[in-house]
Structure 1
Protein backbone atom coordinates (compact mmCIF):
# COMPACT_ATOMS: atom_id res chain seq x y z
CA UNK A 1 0.00 0.00 0.00
CA UNK A 2 1.34 3.43 -0.97
CA UNK A 3 2.33 5.82 1.80
CA UNK A 4 0.70 9.28 1.98
CA UNK A 5 2.68 11.92 0.13
CA UNK A 6 4.51 14.76 1.81
CA UNK A 7 1.91 17.17 0.46
CA UNK A 8 -0.90 15.08 1.93
CA UNK A 9 0.83 15.03 5.32
CA UNK A 10 1.32 18.81 5.33
CA UNK A 11 -2.32 19.29 4.34
CA UNK A 12 -3.48 16.90 7.08
CA UNK A 13 -1.48 18.79 9.69
CA UNK A 14 -2.90 22.09 8.41
CA UNK A 15 -6.38 20.69 8.87
CA UNK A 16 -5.59 19.58 12.42
CA UNK A 17 -4.27 23.03 13.33
CA UNK A 18 -6.86 24.95 11.38
CA UNK A 19 -4.37 27.15 9.54
CA UNK A 20 -2.23 26.96 6.39
CA UNK A 21 1.18 25.29 6.57
CA UNK A 22 4.12 25.15 4.19
CA UNK A 23 6.91 22.60 4.19
CA UNK A 24 10.28 23.83 5.45
CA UNK A 25 12.17 20.54 5.22
CA UNK A 26 12.00 16.85 6.03
CA UNK A 27 13.93 15.75 9.11
CA UNK A 28 15.84 12.52 8.65
CA UNK A 29 17.46 11.65 12.00
CA UNK A 30 15.23 8.64 12.69
CA UNK A 31 13.51 5.75 10.91
CA UNK A 32 10.38 4.99 12.95
CA UNK A 33 8.37 8.12 12.13
CA UNK A 34 8.27 10.36 9.10
CA UNK A 35 9.08 13.83 10.38
CA UNK A 36 8.54 17.23 8.76
CA UNK A 37 9.43 20.73 9.86
CA UNK A 38 6.67 23.05 8.60
CA UNK A 39 5.98 26.78 8.74
CA UNK A 40 2.66 28.24 9.87
CA UNK A 41 3.61 31.81 9.00
CA UNK A 42 4.70 32.80 12.49
CA UNK A 43 6.76 29.85 13.68
CA UNK A 44 7.83 26.34 12.83
CA UNK A 45 6.02 23.24 14.05
CA UNK A 46 6.96 19.56 13.76
CA UNK A 47 4.68 17.02 12.09
CA UNK A 48 5.31 13.33 12.67
CA UNK A 49 3.51 10.41 11.03
CA UNK A 50 3.81 6.86 12.36
CA UNK A 51 3.19 3.46 10.73
CA UNK A 52 -0.37 2.19 10.49
CA UNK A 53 -1.74 0.49 13.63
CA UNK A 54 1.09 2.04 15.69
CA UNK A 55 0.12 3.48 19.09
CA UNK A 56 3.03 5.94 19.30
CA UNK A 57 0.82 9.04 19.13
CA UNK A 58 -1.28 8.00 22.12
CA UNK A 59 1.84 7.07 24.09
CA UNK A 60 3.57 10.35 23.25
CA UNK A 61 0.54 12.43 24.21
CA UNK A 62 0.42 10.70 27.58
CA UNK A 63 4.05 11.41 28.38
CA UNK A 64 4.12 14.98 26.99
CA UNK A 65 1.51 15.91 29.61
CA UNK A 66 4.05 15.04 32.30
CA UNK A 67 7.00 17.03 30.97
CA UNK A 68 6.08 20.51 32.20
CA UNK A 69 8.91 20.57 34.77
CA UNK A 70 11.41 20.30 31.89
CA UNK A 71 10.34 23.71 30.61
CA UNK A 72 11.50 24.45 27.07
CA UNK A 73 13.55 21.24 26.93
CA UNK A 74 10.43 19.33 25.91
CA UNK A 75 8.02 20.19 23.08
CA UNK A 76 4.32 20.85 23.66
CA UNK A 77 1.67 18.88 21.77
CA UNK A 78 -0.48 21.09 19.50
CA UNK A 79 -2.76 18.64 17.68
CA UNK A 80 -3.11 15.01 16.69
CA UNK A 81 -5.18 12.85 14.37
CA UNK A 82 -4.88 10.33 11.52
CA UNK A 83 -4.02 10.27 7.83
CA UNK A 84 -5.04 7.12 5.93
CA UNK A 85 -4.69 5.05 9.10
CA UNK A 86 -1.37 6.61 10.13
CA UNK A 87 -1.20 8.36 13.48
CA UNK A 88 -0.13 11.99 13.16
CA UNK A 89 1.02 14.35 15.89
CA UNK A 90 1.90 18.03 15.61
CA UNK A 91 4.16 19.55 18.26
CA UNK A 92 6.04 22.74 18.87
CA UNK A 93 9.42 22.93 17.17
CA UNK A 94 12.22 23.21 19.70
CA UNK A 95 14.62 25.85 18.36
CA UNK A 96 17.90 24.56 16.96
CA UNK A 97 19.03 21.41 15.20
CA UNK A 98 21.04 18.22 15.75
CA UNK A 99 24.40 18.58 17.47
CA UNK A 100 27.01 19.94 15.08
CA UNK A 101 29.52 17.36 13.81
CA UNK A 102 32.22 19.73 15.12
CA UNK A 103 30.76 19.91 18.63
CA UNK A 104 32.98 18.17 21.18
CA UNK A 105 31.26 14.91 22.26
CA UNK A 106 32.31 15.70 25.83
CA UNK A 107 30.21 18.87 25.70
CA UNK A 108 27.33 16.82 24.33
CA UNK A 109 27.71 14.18 27.04
CA UNK A 110 27.90 16.61 29.95
CA UNK A 111 24.75 18.48 28.94
CA UNK A 112 22.86 15.28 28.22
CA UNK A 113 23.77 14.01 31.67
CA UNK A 114 22.24 17.06 33.34
CA UNK A 115 19.11 16.87 31.17
CA UNK A 116 18.60 13.17 31.80
CA UNK A 117 18.80 13.67 35.56
CA UNK A 118 15.87 16.12 35.22
CA UNK A 119 13.89 13.60 33.13
CA UNK A 120 14.41 10.88 35.70
CA UNK A 121 12.95 13.06 38.46
CA UNK A 122 9.53 12.96 36.78
CA UNK A 123 6.69 10.66 37.81
CA UNK A 124 6.42 7.43 35.77
CA UNK A 125 3.16 6.26 37.35
CA UNK A 126 0.73 4.93 34.78
CA UNK A 127 3.19 4.69 31.90
CA UNK A 128 3.85 1.30 30.28
CA UNK A 129 6.34 -0.70 32.31
CA UNK A 130 9.44 -2.15 30.67
CA UNK A 131 12.31 -3.63 32.65
CA UNK A 132 14.35 -4.30 29.45
CA UNK A 133 15.32 -7.74 30.74
CA UNK A 134 17.67 -9.37 28.22
CA UNK A 135 16.40 -12.43 26.41
CA UNK A 136 18.19 -15.67 25.71
CA UNK A 137 18.11 -14.68 22.02
CA UNK A 138 20.58 -11.79 22.53
CA UNK A 139 23.17 -13.42 20.28
CA UNK A 140 26.79 -13.70 21.36
CA UNK A 141 26.17 -11.47 24.39
CA UNK A 142 23.21 -13.39 25.79
CA UNK A 143 25.11 -15.08 28.62
CA UNK A 144 26.96 -11.90 29.60
CA UNK A 145 23.72 -9.91 29.58
CA UNK A 146 21.93 -12.47 31.73
CA UNK A 147 24.79 -12.38 34.22
CA UNK A 148 24.83 -8.57 34.23
CA UNK A 149 21.06 -8.47 34.79
CA UNK A 150 21.53 -9.96 38.25
CA UNK A 151 23.40 -6.80 39.28
CA UNK A 152 20.94 -4.29 37.77
CA UNK A 153 18.95 -1.83 39.90
CA UNK A 154 15.34 -2.24 38.75
CA UNK A 155 13.80 0.76 40.54
CA UNK A 156 11.56 2.59 38.07
CA UNK A 157 11.83 6.18 36.84
CA UNK A 158 10.37 7.97 33.82
CA UNK A 159 12.69 6.96 31.01
CA UNK A 160 12.83 8.47 27.53
CA UNK A 161 13.45 5.03 26.04
CA UNK A 162 15.64 6.15 23.11
CA UNK A 163 17.93 8.73 24.69
CA UNK A 164 20.66 9.40 22.14
CA UNK A 165 22.14 12.47 20.48
CA UNK A 166 19.80 12.20 17.49
CA UNK A 167 16.80 12.85 19.73
CA UNK A 168 18.24 16.10 21.05
CA UNK A 169 18.20 19.66 19.68
CA UNK A 170 21.04 22.17 19.97
CA UNK A 171 21.70 25.84 19.41
CA UNK A 172 25.46 25.95 18.88
CA UNK A 173 27.01 24.38 21.99
CA UNK A 174 23.81 24.61 24.08
CA UNK A 175 21.23 21.84 24.46
CA UNK A 176 17.78 23.31 23.75
CA UNK A 177 15.52 20.28 23.70
CA UNK A 178 14.86 16.55 23.88
CA UNK A 179 12.38 15.16 21.35
CA UNK A 180 10.65 11.93 20.25
CA UNK A 181 8.97 10.84 23.48
CA UNK A 182 6.80 8.07 22.02
CA UNK A 183 9.00 5.38 23.60
CA UNK A 184 8.88 6.78 27.13
CA UNK A 185 8.34 4.14 29.80
CA UNK A 186 8.40 3.40 33.49
CA UNK A 187 11.73 1.61 33.52
CA UNK A 188 15.08 1.46 35.36
CA UNK A 189 17.29 4.53 34.95
CA UNK A 190 20.03 2.31 33.53
CA UNK A 191 18.01 1.89 30.31
CA UNK A 192 18.57 5.54 29.33
CA UNK A 193 22.02 5.81 30.85
CA UNK A 194 23.50 2.87 28.98
CA UNK A 195 21.79 3.72 25.68
CA UNK A 196 23.21 7.24 25.72
CA UNK A 197 26.67 6.05 26.79
CA UNK A 198 26.65 3.61 23.90
CA UNK A 199 25.72 6.41 21.48
CA UNK A 200 28.59 8.61 22.70
CA UNK A 201 30.95 5.70 22.15
CA UNK A 202 29.58 5.24 18.63
CA UNK A 203 30.22 8.94 18.04
CA UNK A 204 33.85 8.08 18.80
CA UNK A 205 34.28 9.20 22.42
CA UNK A 206 34.34 6.74 25.34
CA UNK A 207 35.61 9.72 27.36
CA UNK A 208 32.35 11.53 26.65
CA UNK A 209 30.43 8.49 27.94
CA UNK A 210 32.27 8.78 31.26
CA UNK A 211 31.74 12.55 31.47
CA UNK A 212 28.04 12.01 30.72
CA UNK A 213 27.79 9.63 33.65
CA UNK A 214 29.66 12.00 35.97
CA UNK A 215 27.38 14.89 34.99
CA UNK A 216 24.30 12.73 35.57
CA UNK A 217 25.51 11.65 39.00
CA UNK A 218 26.31 15.23 40.00
CA UNK A 219 22.94 16.55 38.81
CA UNK A 220 20.91 13.70 40.32
CA UNK A 221 22.86 13.55 43.57
CA UNK A 222 23.29 9.79 43.40
CA UNK A 223 25.96 7.29 42.39
CA UNK A 224 25.03 4.80 39.71
CA UNK A 225 26.74 1.63 40.84
CA UNK A 226 25.23 -0.70 38.24
CA UNK A 227 26.11 1.24 35.08
CA UNK A 228 28.48 -1.46 33.83
CA UNK A 229 25.73 -4.07 34.08
CA UNK A 230 23.39 -1.86 32.07
CA UNK A 231 26.10 -1.18 29.50
CA UNK A 232 26.32 -4.93 28.87
CA UNK A 233 22.52 -5.28 28.67
CA UNK A 234 22.33 -2.38 26.19
CA UNK A 235 25.14 -3.85 24.09
CA UNK A 236 23.34 -7.19 23.90
CA UNK A 237 20.26 -5.37 22.65
CA UNK A 238 22.19 -3.52 19.94
CA UNK A 239 24.60 -6.21 18.80
CA UNK A 240 22.51 -7.82 16.08
CA UNK A 241 21.52 -4.61 14.30
CA UNK A 242 23.92 -1.78 15.17
CA UNK A 243 24.95 -1.40 11.50
CA UNK A 244 21.37 -0.47 10.59
CA UNK A 245 21.74 2.78 12.54
CA UNK A 246 23.96 4.31 9.84
CA UNK A 247 21.03 6.22 8.23
CA UNK A 248 20.18 7.68 11.65
CA UNK A 249 23.68 9.06 12.05
CA UNK A 250 23.71 10.33 8.46
CA UNK A 251 20.43 12.06 9.23
CA UNK A 252 22.05 14.15 11.98
CA UNK A 253 24.98 15.13 9.80
CA UNK A 254 27.35 12.28 10.64
CA UNK A 255 27.59 10.23 7.40
CA UNK A 256 31.12 9.16 8.34
CA UNK A 257 29.57 7.05 11.13
CA UNK A 258 28.66 4.39 8.60
CA UNK A 259 27.93 0.69 9.06
CA UNK A 260 31.61 -0.25 9.13
CA UNK A 261 32.51 2.43 11.68
CA UNK A 262 29.52 1.54 13.84
CA UNK A 263 30.53 -2.13 13.95
CA UNK A 264 34.19 -1.35 14.64
CA UNK A 265 33.44 1.07 17.47
CA UNK A 266 30.74 -1.15 18.88
CA UNK A 267 32.94 -4.25 18.91
CA UNK A 268 35.74 -2.31 20.62
CA UNK A 269 33.23 -1.14 23.25
CA UNK A 270 31.96 -4.69 23.77
CA UNK A 271 35.54 -5.94 24.11
CA UNK A 272 36.23 -3.37 26.81
CA UNK A 273 32.99 -4.20 28.63
CA UNK A 274 33.48 -7.95 28.61
CA UNK A 275 37.20 -7.64 29.31
CA UNK A 276 36.65 -5.48 32.37
CA UNK A 277 33.91 -7.84 33.54
CA UNK A 278 36.24 -10.83 33.23
CA UNK A 279 38.98 -9.03 35.12
CA UNK A 280 36.81 -8.35 38.14
Structure 2
Protein backbone atom coordinates (compact mmCIF):
# COMPACT_ATOMS: atom_id res chain seq x y z
CA UNK A 1 0.00 0.00 0.00
CA UNK A 2 1.47 3.39 -0.90
CA UNK A 3 0.65 7.03 -0.40
CA UNK A 4 2.11 9.38 -3.00
CA UNK A 5 3.82 12.44 -1.61
CA UNK A 6 6.44 14.97 -2.59
CA UNK A 7 10.15 14.19 -2.30
CA UNK A 8 10.43 16.86 0.41
CA UNK A 9 8.67 14.44 2.81
CA UNK A 10 12.06 12.74 3.07
CA UNK A 11 13.83 14.75 5.77
CA UNK A 12 16.43 17.25 4.50
CA UNK A 13 19.60 15.64 5.88
CA UNK A 14 18.45 12.20 4.77
CA UNK A 15 17.53 13.51 1.32
CA UNK A 16 20.99 15.05 0.95
CA UNK A 17 22.58 11.73 2.03
CA UNK A 18 20.53 9.82 -0.53
CA UNK A 19 21.57 12.25 -3.27
CA UNK A 20 25.23 11.62 -2.46
CA UNK A 21 24.69 7.94 -3.31
CA UNK A 22 23.03 8.51 -6.67
CA UNK A 23 24.81 8.41 -10.00
CA UNK A 24 25.86 11.65 -11.65
CA UNK A 25 22.89 13.45 -13.15
CA UNK A 26 20.30 11.53 -11.10
CA UNK A 27 17.81 13.13 -8.73
CA UNK A 28 14.87 12.17 -6.55
CA UNK A 29 11.62 12.98 -8.36
CA UNK A 30 9.09 11.32 -6.07
CA UNK A 31 8.58 9.50 -2.79
CA UNK A 32 5.88 7.17 -1.53
CA UNK A 33 5.28 5.90 1.99
CA UNK A 34 5.21 2.11 2.21
CA UNK A 35 2.87 0.71 4.83
CA UNK A 36 2.62 -2.72 6.42
CA UNK A 37 5.90 -2.79 8.30
CA UNK A 38 6.02 -2.37 12.03
CA UNK A 39 9.61 -1.49 12.91
CA UNK A 40 10.65 1.38 10.62
CA UNK A 41 9.50 4.15 8.31
CA UNK A 42 9.75 3.00 4.69
CA UNK A 43 9.86 5.17 1.58
CA UNK A 44 9.92 4.09 -2.05
CA UNK A 45 11.96 6.69 -3.92
CA UNK A 46 11.63 7.36 -7.63
CA UNK A 47 14.97 8.37 -9.11
CA UNK A 48 15.12 10.31 -12.36
CA UNK A 49 18.03 9.07 -14.50
CA UNK A 50 20.22 10.97 -16.97
CA UNK A 51 18.54 9.32 -19.97
CA UNK A 52 15.10 10.55 -18.92
CA UNK A 53 14.00 7.27 -17.39
CA UNK A 54 13.40 6.33 -13.76
CA UNK A 55 14.48 3.68 -11.29
CA UNK A 56 13.33 2.85 -7.77
CA UNK A 57 15.11 2.71 -4.42
CA UNK A 58 13.82 1.98 -0.92
CA UNK A 59 14.76 4.03 2.14
CA UNK A 60 14.41 2.49 5.59
CA UNK A 61 14.66 4.78 8.64
CA UNK A 62 14.32 3.84 12.30
CA UNK A 63 12.47 6.76 13.85
CA UNK A 64 11.30 5.09 17.07
CA UNK A 65 12.86 2.50 19.43
CA UNK A 66 12.11 -1.15 18.63
CA UNK A 67 11.64 -4.31 20.67
CA UNK A 68 14.23 -6.02 18.48
CA UNK A 69 17.10 -3.91 19.76
CA UNK A 70 19.05 -0.76 18.91
CA UNK A 71 18.61 0.57 15.38
CA UNK A 72 22.38 0.56 14.87
CA UNK A 73 22.54 -3.18 15.45
CA UNK A 74 19.53 -3.88 13.22
CA UNK A 75 20.94 -1.85 10.33
CA UNK A 76 24.37 -3.44 10.63
CA UNK A 77 22.71 -6.87 10.49
CA UNK A 78 20.56 -5.94 7.52
CA UNK A 79 23.51 -4.49 5.62
CA UNK A 80 25.58 -7.61 6.32
CA UNK A 81 22.70 -9.89 5.26
CA UNK A 82 22.10 -8.00 2.00
CA UNK A 83 25.82 -8.19 1.24
CA UNK A 84 25.85 -11.92 1.98
CA UNK A 85 22.86 -12.55 -0.28
CA UNK A 86 24.19 -10.57 -3.26
CA UNK A 87 24.30 -12.81 -6.33
CA UNK A 88 23.06 -15.85 -4.44
CA UNK A 89 20.03 -18.10 -4.80
CA UNK A 90 17.85 -15.95 -2.52
CA UNK A 91 16.67 -12.73 -4.13
CA UNK A 92 16.99 -9.79 -1.76
CA UNK A 93 17.43 -6.03 -2.17
CA UNK A 94 20.88 -4.78 -3.02
CA UNK A 95 22.64 -2.59 -0.47
CA UNK A 96 23.25 0.97 -1.70
CA UNK A 97 24.31 2.72 1.52
CA UNK A 98 23.80 2.54 5.27
CA UNK A 99 24.03 5.15 8.05
CA UNK A 100 23.51 3.06 11.20
CA UNK A 101 24.40 5.77 13.71
CA UNK A 102 22.60 8.69 11.99
CA UNK A 103 25.93 10.38 11.36
CA UNK A 104 24.49 11.94 8.19
CA UNK A 105 20.71 11.44 8.41
CA UNK A 106 18.10 12.59 10.90
CA UNK A 107 17.60 8.93 11.92
CA UNK A 108 19.52 5.67 11.42
CA UNK A 109 18.84 4.71 7.80
CA UNK A 110 19.53 2.23 5.04
CA UNK A 111 19.17 2.71 1.28
CA UNK A 112 18.60 -0.32 -0.93
CA UNK A 113 17.44 -1.33 -4.38
CA UNK A 114 13.76 -1.97 -5.02
CA UNK A 115 12.49 -5.46 -5.82
CA UNK A 116 9.52 -6.07 -8.10
CA UNK A 117 6.41 -7.83 -6.84
CA UNK A 118 4.05 -7.38 -3.93
CA UNK A 119 3.03 -9.08 -0.73
CA UNK A 120 -0.11 -11.24 -0.71
CA UNK A 121 -2.07 -11.71 2.52
CA UNK A 122 -5.34 -13.03 1.06
CA UNK A 123 -6.81 -16.44 1.88
CA UNK A 124 -7.47 -17.08 -1.81
CA UNK A 125 -4.58 -18.81 -3.56
CA UNK A 126 -2.82 -19.85 -0.34
CA UNK A 127 -2.88 -23.51 -1.39
CA UNK A 128 -0.55 -22.58 -4.26
CA UNK A 129 1.60 -20.05 -2.39
CA UNK A 130 2.28 -22.21 0.68
CA UNK A 131 4.75 -24.63 -0.97
CA UNK A 132 6.47 -21.66 -2.64
CA UNK A 133 6.98 -20.08 0.78
CA UNK A 134 8.30 -23.35 2.16
CA UNK A 135 10.80 -23.83 -0.68
CA UNK A 136 11.95 -20.23 -0.33
CA UNK A 137 12.63 -20.70 3.39
CA UNK A 138 14.60 -23.89 2.69
CA UNK A 139 16.74 -21.80 0.29
CA UNK A 140 17.31 -19.16 2.99
CA UNK A 141 18.51 -21.83 5.41
CA UNK A 142 20.87 -23.21 2.78
CA UNK A 143 22.83 -19.92 2.66
CA UNK A 144 26.33 -20.31 4.06
CA UNK A 145 27.61 -16.82 4.97
CA UNK A 146 31.35 -16.19 5.01
CA UNK A 147 30.84 -14.50 8.37
CA UNK A 148 28.06 -15.77 10.61
CA UNK A 149 25.51 -13.23 11.84
CA UNK A 150 25.03 -12.96 15.58
CA UNK A 151 23.34 -15.79 17.45
CA UNK A 152 19.56 -15.53 17.66
CA UNK A 153 18.04 -13.79 20.68
CA UNK A 154 14.73 -14.88 22.21
CA UNK A 155 12.70 -11.75 22.90
CA UNK A 156 10.21 -13.44 25.23
CA UNK A 157 10.23 -15.80 28.17
CA UNK A 158 7.86 -18.19 29.89
CA UNK A 159 7.17 -15.49 32.46
CA UNK A 160 6.15 -12.88 29.89
CA UNK A 161 3.66 -15.03 27.90
CA UNK A 162 0.05 -13.82 28.21
CA UNK A 163 -2.83 -16.29 28.32
CA UNK A 164 -5.64 -14.92 26.09
CA UNK A 165 -9.04 -14.15 27.58
CA UNK A 166 -11.27 -17.22 27.43
CA UNK A 167 -8.40 -19.65 26.79
CA UNK A 168 -8.09 -22.91 28.74
CA UNK A 169 -5.62 -22.05 31.53
CA UNK A 170 -4.47 -25.67 31.81
CA UNK A 171 -3.50 -25.84 28.14
CA UNK A 172 -1.60 -22.57 28.28
CA UNK A 173 0.13 -23.42 31.54
CA UNK A 174 1.33 -26.68 29.98
CA UNK A 175 2.49 -24.85 26.84
CA UNK A 176 4.35 -22.23 28.87
CA UNK A 177 6.00 -24.97 30.93
CA UNK A 178 7.41 -26.44 27.70
CA UNK A 179 9.49 -23.31 27.06
CA UNK A 180 10.62 -23.06 30.67
CA UNK A 181 13.06 -25.84 29.86
CA UNK A 182 16.53 -24.95 28.58
CA UNK A 183 16.68 -24.52 24.82
CA UNK A 184 17.58 -27.76 23.03
CA UNK A 185 20.92 -28.09 21.27
CA UNK A 186 20.66 -27.35 17.57
CA UNK A 187 22.51 -27.24 14.28
CA UNK A 188 22.85 -23.60 13.32
CA UNK A 189 21.49 -22.13 10.12
CA UNK A 190 21.31 -18.70 8.50
CA UNK A 191 17.96 -17.29 9.67
CA UNK A 192 15.79 -14.47 8.41
CA UNK A 193 13.99 -14.30 11.80
CA UNK A 194 10.92 -12.56 10.38
CA UNK A 195 10.13 -14.78 7.42
CA UNK A 196 6.37 -14.49 6.86
CA UNK A 197 3.97 -13.48 4.06
CA UNK A 198 4.39 -9.77 4.79
CA UNK A 199 8.10 -9.99 3.88
CA UNK A 200 7.85 -12.13 0.75
CA UNK A 201 7.15 -10.54 -2.64
CA UNK A 202 5.20 -12.31 -5.38
CA UNK A 203 4.81 -11.75 -9.08
CA UNK A 204 1.18 -12.52 -9.85
CA UNK A 205 -0.43 -12.83 -13.28
CA UNK A 206 -2.88 -9.97 -14.01
CA UNK A 207 -5.66 -12.50 -14.58
CA UNK A 208 -4.95 -14.11 -11.18
CA UNK A 209 -4.23 -11.34 -8.63
CA UNK A 210 -4.67 -13.69 -5.66
CA UNK A 211 -1.95 -16.05 -6.87
CA UNK A 212 -4.06 -19.19 -7.11
CA UNK A 213 -1.94 -20.27 -10.10
CA UNK A 214 1.14 -18.99 -11.85
CA UNK A 215 2.53 -17.14 -8.84
CA UNK A 216 6.28 -16.90 -8.30
CA UNK A 217 8.38 -15.34 -5.57
CA UNK A 218 10.44 -12.34 -6.67
CA UNK A 219 12.28 -11.72 -3.42
CA UNK A 220 12.45 -11.58 0.36
CA UNK A 221 12.74 -8.28 2.24
CA UNK A 222 13.34 -6.97 5.78
CA UNK A 223 16.59 -8.67 6.87
CA UNK A 224 17.14 -6.50 9.96
CA UNK A 225 16.80 -9.46 12.33
CA UNK A 226 19.02 -11.89 10.38
CA UNK A 227 20.61 -14.30 12.85
CA UNK A 228 22.23 -17.68 13.33
CA UNK A 229 20.18 -20.40 15.01
CA UNK A 230 17.88 -23.39 14.51
CA UNK A 231 15.81 -23.61 11.32
CA UNK A 232 12.89 -24.47 13.61
CA UNK A 233 12.72 -20.83 14.75
CA UNK A 234 12.05 -19.45 11.27
CA UNK A 235 9.58 -22.24 10.53
CA UNK A 236 7.71 -21.63 13.80
CA UNK A 237 7.57 -17.88 13.15
CA UNK A 238 6.14 -18.28 9.66
CA UNK A 239 3.77 -21.02 10.81
CA UNK A 240 2.41 -18.76 13.55
CA UNK A 241 1.89 -15.89 11.11
CA UNK A 242 0.01 -18.20 8.75
CA UNK A 243 -2.09 -19.57 11.61
CA UNK A 244 -3.14 -16.05 12.62
CA UNK A 245 -3.65 -14.78 9.08
CA UNK A 246 -5.48 -17.80 7.66
CA UNK A 247 -6.37 -20.18 10.50
CA UNK A 248 -4.50 -22.65 12.73
CA UNK A 249 -4.55 -25.50 10.20
CA UNK A 250 -2.35 -23.48 7.85
CA UNK A 251 0.32 -23.10 10.52
CA UNK A 252 0.52 -26.85 10.91
CA UNK A 253 0.52 -27.33 7.13
CA UNK A 254 3.47 -24.98 6.65
CA UNK A 255 5.64 -27.06 8.97
CA UNK A 256 4.87 -30.15 6.88
CA UNK A 257 5.43 -28.23 3.64
CA UNK A 258 8.86 -27.11 4.84
CA UNK A 259 9.87 -30.70 5.54
CA UNK A 260 8.43 -31.87 2.21
CA UNK A 261 10.58 -29.22 0.51
CA UNK A 262 13.69 -30.77 2.05
CA UNK A 263 13.99 -28.66 5.18
CA UNK A 264 15.34 -30.31 8.32
CA UNK A 265 13.84 -29.69 11.76
CA UNK A 266 14.86 -30.94 15.20
CA UNK A 267 14.87 -34.74 15.26
CA UNK A 268 13.13 -35.26 18.62
CA UNK A 269 9.41 -34.50 19.01
CA UNK A 270 9.87 -32.70 22.33
CA UNK A 271 12.55 -30.47 20.80
CA UNK A 272 10.36 -29.60 17.81
CA UNK A 273 7.50 -28.74 20.16
CA UNK A 274 9.77 -26.45 22.19
CA UNK A 275 10.64 -24.39 19.10
CA UNK A 276 7.08 -24.53 17.72
CA UNK A 277 5.68 -23.00 20.90
CA UNK A 278 8.25 -20.25 21.31
CA UNK A 279 6.79 -18.16 18.51
CA UNK A 280 3.05 -18.20 19.38
CA UNK A 281 3.83 -17.61 23.04
CA UNK A 282 5.94 -14.60 22.04
CA UNK A 283 3.04 -13.34 19.88
CA UNK A 284 0.76 -13.56 22.91
CA UNK A 285 2.52 -10.52 24.38
CA UNK A 286 1.76 -8.23 21.48
CA UNK A 287 -1.36 -9.41 19.63
CA UNK A 288 -2.59 -5.87 19.01
CA UNK A 289 0.76 -4.85 17.53
CA UNK A 290 0.86 -7.96 15.32
CA UNK A 291 -2.65 -7.45 13.92
CA UNK A 292 -2.39 -3.74 13.08
CA UNK A 293 -0.29 -3.94 9.86
CA UNK A 294 -2.56 -6.71 8.53
CA UNK A 295 -5.60 -4.47 8.95
CA UNK A 296 -3.71 -1.62 7.25
CA UNK A 297 -3.08 -4.01 4.35
CA UNK A 298 -6.81 -4.68 3.97
CA UNK A 299 -7.50 -7.61 6.30
CA UNK A 300 -9.90 -5.52 8.38
CA UNK A 301 -11.61 -8.59 9.82
CA UNK A 302 -8.44 -9.43 11.75
CA UNK A 303 -9.33 -7.53 14.88
CA UNK A 304 -7.20 -7.98 17.95
CA UNK A 305 -9.83 -10.31 19.40
CA UNK A 306 -10.06 -12.40 16.23
CA UNK A 307 -6.30 -12.85 16.12
CA UNK A 308 -6.24 -13.66 19.83
CA UNK A 309 -8.79 -16.43 19.29
CA UNK A 310 -6.75 -17.89 16.43
CA UNK A 311 -3.63 -17.75 18.58
CA UNK A 312 -5.39 -19.71 21.33
CA UNK A 313 -6.64 -22.27 18.81
CA UNK A 314 -3.14 -22.67 17.33
CA UNK A 315 -1.44 -23.20 20.71
CA UNK A 316 -4.12 -25.76 21.56
CA UNK A 317 -3.54 -27.52 18.21
CA UNK A 318 0.22 -27.67 18.86
CA UNK A 319 -0.35 -29.15 22.31
CA UNK A 320 -2.81 -31.71 20.88
CA UNK A 321 -0.61 -32.69 17.94
CA UNK A 322 1.04 -36.13 18.16
CA UNK A 323 4.77 -36.16 18.81
Do both share a fold (TM > 0.5)?
yes
Give the number of the structure whose residues are more often helix, by fraction: 1
Greater alpha carbon shift after TM alignment, 76-85 vs 43-52: 76-85
Superimposed CA distance per residue, residues 90-112 of structure 1 (whole angstroms, 9 cap, x where no aligned partner): 11111011115254223332111
In structure 1, what is the Cα distance between the partners aligned to 2:117 and 2:218? 7
1:6-85 aligned within 5 A: 6-8=9-11, 9-18=14-23, 19-41=26-48, 42-51=54-63, 54-55=71-72, 56-68=74-86, 70-71=88-89, 73-81=91-99, 82=102, 84-85=105-106
Greater alpha carbon shift after TM alignment, 235-244 vs 119-128: 119-128
Matched-pair contact (CA < 8 Å) for 1:193–1:227: no
- Say which SS state the counterpart of residue 21 (structure 1) adopts: strand
Unaligned runs of 5+ in 2: 1-7, 49-53, 65-69, 164-171, 205-214
Matched-pair contact (CA < 8 Å) for 1:73–1:178: yes
Greater alpha carbon shift after TM alignment, 17-26 vs 139-148: 139-148
1:138-157 aligned within 5 A: 138-139=160-161, 140=163, 141=172, 144-148=175-179, 152=184, 154-157=186-189
- Say which SS state the counterpart of residue 94 (structure 1) adopts: coil
Count of residue pairs the alignment pairs up: 274
* Paired position in structure 1 for 2:67: none
Greater alpha carbon shift after TM alignment, 85-94 vs 246-255: 246-255
* Paired position in structure 2 for 1:273: 318
- Say which SS state the counterpart of residue 148 (structure 2) adopts: coil
In structure 1, what is the Cα distance between the partners aligned to 2:156 and 2:110? 31
Q: Does 1:166 align with 2:187?
A: no
1:146 is displaced (CA, Å) by: 4.7
Residues 195/72 of structure 1: CA separation in 2 closer, same or farther (3 Å cut)? closer
Residues 51/203 of structure 1: CA separation in 2 closer, same or farther (3 Å cut)? same
- Say which SS state the counterpart of residue 245 (structure 1) adopts: helix
1:27 is displaced (CA, Å) by: 0.9
In structure 2, what is the Cα distance between the partners aligned to 1:106 and 1:151? 33
Residues 22/247 of structure 1: CA separation in 2 closer, same or farther (3 Å cut)? farther
- Say which SS state the counterpart of residue 220 (structure 1) adopts: coil
In structure 1, what is the Cα distance between the partners aligned to 2:178 and 2:258? 25
Residues 241/43 of structure 1: CA separation in 2 closer, same or farther (3 Å cut)? same
Residues 188/217 of structure 1: CA separation in 2 closer, same or farther (3 Å cut)? same
Greater alpha carbon shift after TM alignment, 147-156 vs 75-84: 147-156
1:218 is displaced (CA, Å) by: 3.0
Query: What is the alpha-carbon root mean square deviation over aligned residues?
Result: 2.7
Q: Normalising by structure 2, what TM-score? A: 0.75
Residues 12/261 of structure 1: CA separation in 2 closer, same or farther (3 Å cut)? farther
1:61 is displaced (CA, Å) by: 0.9
1:208 is displaced (CA, Å) by: 3.1
Q: Normalising by structure 1, what TM-score? A: 0.85
Residues 68/119 of structure 1: CA separation in 2 closer, same or farther (3 Å cut)? same
1:108-257 aligned within 5 A: 108-123=129-144, 125-130=147-152, 132=154, 135-139=157-161, 140=163, 141=172, 144-148=175-179, 152=184, 154-172=186-204, 173-220=215-262, 222=264, 225=267, 226-257=271-302
Matched-pair contact (CA < 8 Å) for 1:105–1:200: no
Matched-pair contact (CA < 8 Å) for 2:97–2:110: yes
Residues 93/275 of structure 1: CA separation in 2 closer, same or farther (3 Å cut)? same
